[in-house]
């Protein structure tokens, strides 16, 4: 089999779009090691139990991978916010599923798959502070600096990527593609 055929086989098709390899799982593992090291360093010796908030559904894989590497006690809860329909951010943040833990007087680490405009993460951060969280840190596997439009600091960023639509490792295109262990970028 020639190289051309292998490259074609590496591509995936979801609905009507084709995606090509972008970030291999090996690189993702190294990115996650690095993020977890930084969180462990910041929370070293903590006596409280911070809450990890997994932003459903996209951050499921990344949250699990980060949590496995943490060396202090955490509590896990999940929330669902979405500002995406298809491949474009709508700018509208929806909250179909609520918080499953009381964040009052607690430190919180939000774990996201990707930050694009920042609408989702900043809305969630404000929601958590309004519910009495004492400190809210943002941890995201990926971010798109060309699109991010908020003054808020992103505390733990795995990798900055160009403004392109990606899938895999939890990220979807209209609910498909989440299960891939590598990340793929739209092939246009
Ligand atoms: P934001 O609110 O514009 O920052 O969008 C963040 C949310 O949009 C993430 O939680 C993802 O679910 C989704 N999203 C942003 N970029 C992508 C992408 O390239 N592929 C798939 N989903 C994305």
Reduce the DSSP state of residue 131 to 3 states and report it. Answer: coil
For the chain, the straight-line distance linking the first and the last C-alpha, in angstroms and rounded, comes to 25
- Give the Å distance between the CA of 42 and the centre of ligand 1: 26
Q: Which residues are catalytic?
A: 116
Closest-lying ligand 1 atom to the alpha carbon of residue 144: 16
Asked if 33 contacts 64 with a C-beta cutoff of 8 angstroms, the reply is: no
Asked if 113 contacts 143 with a C-beta cutoff of 8 angstroms, the reply is: no
Write phi, then psi, for 114 (nearest 5 degrees): -150, 140
Closest-lying ligand 1 atom to the alpha carbon of residue 173: 21
- For residue range 111-159, list pLDDT tens digits in order: 999 999 998 888 889 889 989 999 999 999 999 999 998 999 999 999 9
Instruction: Judge if pTM exceeds 0.85.
Output: yes
- Give the Å distance between the CA of 37 and the centre of ligand 1: 25
d(CA 99, CA 10): 38
Asked if 54 contacts 47 with a C-beta cutoff of 8 angstroms, the reply is: no
- For residue range 13-43, list pLDDT tens digits in order: 999 999 999 999 999 999 999 999 999 999 9
Please give the mean pLDDT across all residues of the chain.
Answer: 89
Ligand 1 pocket by Cβ (under 6 Å):
55, 58, 83-84, 89, 112-121, 165-167, 171
């Amino acid at each position: 089999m020639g190289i051309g055929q292998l490259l074609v086989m590496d591509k995936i098709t979801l609905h009507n779009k084709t995606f090509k390899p972008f970030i291999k799982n090996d690189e993702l593992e190294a990115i996650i090691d690095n993020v977890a090291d930084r969180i462990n360093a910041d929370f070293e010796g903590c006596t409280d139990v911070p809450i990890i908030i997994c932003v459903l559904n996209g951050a499921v894989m990344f949250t699990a991978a980060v949590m496995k590497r943490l060396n202090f006690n955490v509590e896990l809860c999940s929330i669902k916010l979405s500002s995406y329909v298809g491949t474009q951010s709508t700018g509208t943040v929806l909250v179909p599923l609520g918080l499953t833990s009381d964040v009052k007087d607690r430190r919180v680490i939000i774990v996201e798959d990707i930050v694009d405009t920042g609408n989702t993460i900043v809305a969630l951060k404000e929601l958590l502070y309004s519910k009495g969280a004492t400190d809210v840190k943002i941890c995201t596997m990926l971010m798109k600096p060309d699109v991010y439009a908020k003054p808020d600091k992103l505390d733990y960023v795995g990798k900055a990527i160009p403004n392109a639509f990606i899938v895999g490792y939890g990220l979807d295109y209209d609910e498909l593609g989440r299960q891939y262990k590598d990340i793929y970028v739209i092939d246009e």
